[in-house]
Structures are given as C-alpha cells and as structure tokens.
Amino acid sequence: MKNKFLFLFLAVSASQAAVNLGVSLGDSIKPVTHVATGSLYGLTESLPSNIERDVAPLKPNVFLSPARSGNGRQQPIGGAFLVAPRVESIGAKIQIRLADVLPGWPYKFQNMDHWKNEVKSVINDKLKSNNKNFDGYEIWNEPNDTWKSNIDFNSGLWKQTYDLIRQMDPGAKIIGPSYSFYHASQMEAFIKYCAQNNCLPDVVSWHQWGSGGFVGAVETYRALEKKYNVTPRPLSINEYSSTEHSEEGCPGLSVPFIAKFERHGVESAMISWWFVPLPGRLGSLLTKDNERGGGWWLYKWYGDMSGYMAKVTPPNDKSDGVDGFAALDKKKGFASIVLGGNTKGDVNVNISGIPAEFGSQVNVSVEYVVWENKDKAVPSTTTVSNKDYDVSGGKITVPVNITNTKYGYRVYITPIIPQAPYKDTAMEIPGKVEVENYDVGGSGKAYLDLDDDNKGGEYREDAVDIVKAGDGYAVGYTQEGEWLEYTVKVAEKEDYAVSVRYATSSENTGMKLYVDGKVALDNVAFPQGADWETYSTVDAGKMSLSAGEHVLKLEIVGNYVNIDWLNFESEKTIAIGKPTLHAVPHEASYDVFDMQGRLVAKLKAFGSESLRSKISATVKRPGTYIAKPQTGGKMLRISVK
C-alpha cells in the first residue's frame, strides 16, 4: 500500500513539475528575416484595408498569391500583380502560384499547349512589371491531390514548365513540388527524377498540418538530398496550420511552427487559408470584420524582432509541446523570447548569454495574448509581471505559467540604463535643443517610438527615426503619441519664447511640450509645408521656466512631421535687443493657419499688429493663428480676441 501511495505521489509531482526551455542568447542561428510571417491569400487588392496599420508592423516576409484572379480562375480576387504594389514598400514579397491560372478544384487542366500559353502570359507580365518584389514561381499546388491528367506530373507538367521558366526568366526562383503534406514516397520519386533530369527546384516546398511532425519530415527530406547528391535546398512551407483548421492563426499553436521553421532552415512559410469567404485576413490574424485578433499580436511580437535569431532548445523538438523562438539585438538593447505550445503549467525559461553590456541587472517583462477563436477581436496584450533580475554569469531564469494552450507568451529583456543627458551634458536654456540629442535610457524612459527600427538610419542606433536635415539631423517618420525627453538646465527663472524648426507635407501635425511631466505648451500646430525636406521655423509661444535642471518632453501630434530643433530665447534678451527706433514695417503676404494646421486666410499686412487686425476681420472668430510669410522667414503666432 505504501508503495502504491508513493507511486501516486511521484506521478502527481512529476505531472506538476516545471518544464525547461533553454534560450542561448549568445548563439546566433541566423539573422532575423521573419521567416513565417507570410500567408496564403492573406492579402487581396483591397484587404487588409490599411497596410501601414495592420500589415507593416508584422514585417511580412512572403505572401503566396494566385498568378491570376477573376472569372475563369481558381481564385476570384487577390492576383499577384494586383497585390504586389500594395506591399513592396514594406519589404514583403509575392510568391506566384501558377496553378491558379486554371479554374476548379481539383484544377481543370486542359492540355500542355493551353497551360504553357497561360504560363508564358504570367511570365511576360512579371517581366514587364514595375514591381520587383516577386519571390518566385510555385509551379503547381498539391499535385498529390490535384494532378488528374494522364500526363506524368514529373516528366510532363513539372519538367516542361521548369524549362519554360528557365528559358524566359532564367534568374527566377522556382518552387515546388508543394505537396499537401510531406508525402515521403512521392517526394523521393520527385527528387530522384529532378536530380537526374536537371530540373531541381531552387526551393523545396510542402504543406504542414500540425507542428509535431515537421522536424521528422525535414530529416527525411535532408536524407533524400544526401542519397541523390542534391545540394541542400532552402524550404518553403507555403501552407501551415494546426490540424484543427478552426485554430488557424491561434497564438499558442503557432509558436512551435515558427520556432521549428526558424531552427530548421525554412526560407519562407505562409499561414493557411481554410476559410474560403475570408481572403485578405493574413491567415486569420485579423477577424472577419478586419479587426486584430489574438494571432495578430503574436505575429506583431515576431515582427518586432530584429538583430539575430538566438538558439532555443525545447523539451522535445519533435512534438507540438512547449517551444519558443528568440532574438537578440545588441544595438537596440533588447532580447525577445516568445513561447507557447500544447503544454499547460510552469515553464522555466533558462536564459544564458545575456550580453555583458546589458550590465549586472536587467528588466524583464512577461506578457501574454489571449485567443478564443479566429473571429474574436483582441484589443491588446496583457502584462503578467515587470521586474528586475540580477544577472549571474550572463544567466537568469524566468518562470512563466502557461494557463491556456491557445495563448502566446513573451519574455522581453532590456538593460537597466538610468535616464541621463545625451553625452552626459544637459542642454542649456536659453539655447537650442537639437531634437536628435534626446536622453539615454531607452524606450519607455527617454523616448517612445511606435516601431523598432531607426527608419532614417542616421546618427543613433536605437528605435528613434533620425534623418538628415541640412548640415545636421532631425527626428522623422513620426507618429501620433511618440515622445522624446531631454534633460535641460535653465539659467534663470523667466519667460522664454519658443520657436521650432520643422518640415512636413502632412496636415494637422504639431507637438506638445511638457516640463517635469506637466503640460507647458499644448497643441502647437505646424502649418502644412511643401515636403519633408523644406524646413520652416514657427513661433510656438512662451514658456515660464524656473532655474535649475528639468526634464523637457516633446510629444508628437498627428503623423509624419520632421523636427530639427527647439529654440528657447529669453524674453529679457528679446526686449533688450529691440531697437529704440523702429524701421517702418514693409507689407508682406502671409498664409494664415488655425491651430489644426488648416489654411484659413491669405492676406497682406504691415507687421504683427496689422496681421492681428486683418486676421480678426477676415476669419471673424477668436483664437490663436500661425501666419506664414509667403516669401519665407519666421512664422508668427498671432492671438485674436
């Protein structure tokens, strides 16, 4: 009886024991390329409707699209040449599915002449296209299920199409055979034939249902390469999903797929498309109403990764249980680890190789994203904890409790860097604050930038977007709500006139200024300019500052304004500098803008008092207005009562 109870106790204890997930940040397995962020038919000519908002943050890699769409084609919408222009600017590529030139399922193949004419038409369109973001040609789709002709697939359809592509577009990538699953016997026959007949695909592809069998399939395929003396090929898993198709895009079930794809040489992978009425939802990452689902947030974590992918060791690489993928970016100062899988309970995330430059303490946040079903919108992720860890020998262990196998989890590590002035010197007021010289301290302390890349690529190596501006730099690519902080030293208590050097072609842009967390200048509007290279100076108003050290915060209002500098000038200095005898003002032409940046008047005036009078008479409502000289020069801030 004792032995029976002891056995039960040990069994229960074992079932409750934490599993271990190893993360070696010091071991790079490859650069970050966001291998698995594509989808099958996840993009159409109209959906998602907002590419910048809902697609760009995912850093999409490759979408698989029909070569043609419309009447008489397999797909009614989403043709490759219609969608490629939508995503070229965000770096996404389009894999062209040639089989979709045909109608029906299985495809209604007529004869080789008809097929070749269709393929020639597609190749010619690709060669003539202004878009250069085509990944390659997938010759056929799921031939083990859809090839119904009495022509042999390998020697007929594949070989002849391969030769045609090589003749017309010799540099193009050819992808195949795209079996509906890893079909071992057919894959061996295909590879053997192609090796003997000089028609091996550049990228080998198949579809994967369930993550547990993927590693075994890869091992079986790599053995074929050795057997037939084939140079190792990159892989494209150009459809993947849980075996339960209703769970397409589910965060927890997606993690093991992504982890194994990153670990085992996959070049591109596309989420499946099981819900025929819903193309353009990025593989169920967006709901049927085009809202962000739980899967969107998981892939946003993936899209936020930069630097290199680090080595992750799961308890069992050949299962769909807990797994993870990780990235380290030393320049930007973060490590990101995403985990999940078909496991509930405690997971010890054992992290080694934390860079020495991160210091002896790091901040670790743990968050999760929920998932109920593919059509349930999820507004945000949820933070579990945020605390500091002591680093010993480059190692820490972070416990994560997985409460639901459908949820995804992220561990995010940043060095603890106290906020301090850039180059250890507070900026002096009165004087000019160059906006690119924001404090050190990192994201959430010294700045907030809504993406993780320095899109301008200039001056500093973190997430703030810095561009060249004349002989210096400016902060650009700005978005609503982003902010920067500066440690400033004010010489003496008094009022300071603030002017701003900016450039924008956007409407309704501006800024707010805070001092020590309190609003000091609210909703300073920037009149719309010609472009983002032509800078103007606007009078932003007055600020009353006390002597000593303060934290100045600049917050962006609106989207896409470049800001070069803020200038603080003592009102006393301005008063002393005024001449006792004034020259007679000359008449000038002005464009007058309200505080939303809208043009409300064009008029001529002799100086500020004349401007005030004419604005009052023309606009006929009180408020604050910006008068921009049409011939250039400093803009004036005019209050009308």
Take residue 331 and report the two structure tokens written for it: 């320049």
Looking at residue 586, its pLDDT comes to 58
Looking at residue 582, its pLDDT comes to 34
Q: Give the bridge partners for 447, in sequence order.
A: 443, 484
With 0.95 as the threshold, say if the pTM is over it: no
CA–CA dist 21, 410 (Å, integer): 13
Looking at residue 158, its pLDDT comes to 98
Residue type, 367: E
Tokens 């472009």 correspond to: 531
CA–CA dist 516, 373 (Å, integer): 44
Burial 98-134 (b: 16+ CB within 10 A, else e): bbbbbeeebbebeeeeebeebbeebbeebeeeebebb
Looking at residue 5, its pLDDT comes to 47
Q: Which of 61, 59, 89, 92 is nearest to 302 (CA)?
A: 59
Q: What are the 10-residue block averages of pLDDT along the chain, 641 residues in total?
A: 46 64 97 97 97 96 98 97 98 98 97 98 98 98 97 98 98 98 98 98 98 98 98 98 96 98 97 95 96 98 96 98 96 94 97 94 97 97 96 97 98 93 95 96 88 86 90 94 97 95 92 96 89 92 95 96 96 53 56 79 79 82 80 74 77
Q: Give the bridge partners for 474, in sequence order.
A: 467
CA–CA dist 373, 545 (Å, integer): 53
Looking at residue 220, its pLDDT comes to 98
Contact criterion met (CB below 8 Å) for 382 and 369: yes
Q: Give the bridge partners for 555, in sequence order.
A: 483, 512
DSSP strand E in 52-127: where?
62-66, 93-97
Looking at residue 16, its pLDDT comes to 60
Looking at residue 626, its pLDDT comes to 80
CA–CA dist 342, 320 (Å, integer): 6
Compute the CA torsion angle 554, 556, 560, 563 (nearest 10 deg).
-20
Contact criterion met (CB below 8 Å) for 333 and 415: yes
Looking at residue 46, its pLDDT comes to 97
